[in-house]
Structure 1
Amino acid sequence: MALINVKTKEVQVKIVYYGPGRGGKTTNLEYINKTYRDRIKTEMVSLKTQDDRTLFFDFLPFDVGQIKGFDVTIQLYTVPGQVKYNATRRLVLRGVDGIVFVADVQKEQRKKNIESLNQLYENLETYNLDLFNIPFVMQYNKIDLKQSAIPIVSSQTLQKDLNGLLRAPAFEATALRGGNVIPTLKKIISITLASIQDQLF
């Protein structure tokens, strides 16, 4: 649920990038941070774990300005991908308004993508949230690997594995080079803002 301050006429919206370890969540945020440096209000904060990272920063969204007279700030988070950090993942999801699921297209990661998505369902249940009722975007990352010798899963298969029931907007992406990082972000922002408009007076 978006944090709405009626006194200051401000709204804080929380978007979480979720997915398996080393799938590209951090890379998405780093690219956004670099590209929209002028719109970001704070330094990117990195809470380091041994082999992964959780990131968080504030920034002003694209072409939104105000909604019903309220200034809107978007907060972007990633969760640590490793299963052993599930308690942290659950904590990061508290108060979430929108989710981007970053799947890794490498064939060897297929099972981990499915496990991570199933765990997302479970973690949301902790807060009585249903993924079918939350603004959600799917991203199939590392699509550029098809030009190398690394075996990848096709987007059609990923759609079947991960998005058959949800039918969320989906993007093929190359987060390292910025491919479809911004369209993914713009999509989740637009559908999340549309979903919270009714909460504003």
Structure 2
Amino acid sequence: MAFVNLKNKEVQAKIVYYGPGRGGKTTNLEYVYSKFRERIKSDMVSIKTHGDRTLFFDFLPFEIGKIMGYDVRVQLYTVPGQVKYNATRRLVLKGVDGMVFVADSMVNQREKNLVSLKNLQENLAIYKKSIFKIPLVLQYNKRDLEKEGSPLMSLEQMGKDLNSQLKVPAFGASALAGDNVIPTLKKIISLTMASLQKVLK
């Protein structure tokens, strides 16, 4: 649940990037961080966990208006993708307001995407949150690898695998090139804002 700071007249919303290991969660945040450096009030903090890491920083997004006269500060987090760090993932999800699920478009990662999405559903349930109700955007990452001849799943196939029940906004993207990284972020911020507006009324 968003943290309301009465003194600073600010609502802090927490958005978490989730998905399989090496799928592009960190690359998304690094791109956002470099693009909006002047709006980011904190350093990017990276917590390394043997070959994987959790990243977070907070920033004041642009032109998203206010909630009940309060400014909105968004905290962006990634979770470690590897299965063995599930306890860390759960910890990062505590108090989450919105989710971006970053799926890997490579054909050989299909199973990992499915396992990771199911894991997200289970971990949200621990906090009594439903994957069907929380603001959520899917990102089908690594679309740029097609040019290099890597076998990728089609966007239709990925939609069928991951979004046939959820029916949430989805973007084909390349976090490395920055394609659709910002539209993904804007979409999850607007969904999260709309959801918080309802709760905080």
Q: Secondary structure at the match of 2:132?
A: helix
Shift of 1:186: 0.2
1:101-116 mapped onto 2 (5 Å cutoff): 101-116=101-116
- CA displacement 1:10-54 (0-9 Å, x = unmatched): 110000000000000000000000000010000000001111111
Shift of 1:4: 1.2
Q: What residue number does 1:30 align with?
A: 30
The range that moved more, 91-100 or 6-15, is: 6-15
| Match status 1:51 vs 2:51 | yes
Q: TM-score, normalised on structure 1?
A: 0.97
Q: Secondary structure at the match of 1:76?
A: strand
Q: Secondary structure at the match of 1:133?
A: coil
- CA displacement 1:117-145 (0-9 Å, x = unmatched): 00000001111110111000000000011
Identify unmatched segments of 5+ residues in structure 2.
none
Q: What residue number does 2:190 align with?
A: 190
Shift of 1:9: 1.7
Report if aligned partners of 1:62, 1:186 keep a CA contact under 8 Å in 2.
no
State the alpha-carbon separation in 1 of the partners of residues 5 and 134 from structure 2: 22
Q: Secondary structure at the match of 2:29?
A: helix
Q: What residue number does 2:199 align with?
A: 199
Shift of 1:177: 0.8
Amino acid at match of 2:180: N
Amino acid at match of 1:111: E
Q: What residue number does 1:155 align with?
A: 155
Q: Between Structure 1 and Structure 2, how many residues are aligned?
A: 201
- CA displacement 1:59-117 (0-9 Å, x = unmatched): 00121242221111000000000000001001100100000000000011000000000
- CA displacement 1:128-173 (0-9 Å, x = unmatched): 1101110000000000111122111111011010000001100000
State the alpha-carbon separation in 2 of the partners of residues 8 and 149 from structure 1: 51
State the alpha-carbon separation in 2 of the partners of residues 199 and 4 from structure 1: 12
The range that moved more, 185-194 or 62-71, is: 62-71
Identify unmatched segments of 5+ residues in structure 1.
none
State the alpha-carbon separation in 2 of the partners of residues 9 and 149 from structure 1: 51
State the alpha-carbon separation in 1 of the partners of residues 8 and 173 from structure 2: 37
Q: Secondary structure at the match of 1:119?
A: helix
Q: Secondary structure at the match of 1:67?
A: coil
1:38-187 mapped onto 2 (5 Å cutoff): 38-187=38-187
CA RMSD of aligned residues (A): 1.0
Q: TM-score, normalised on structure 2?
A: 0.97
Amino acid at match of 1:77: Y
State the alpha-carbon separation in 2 of the partners of residues 4 and 153 from structure 1: 42
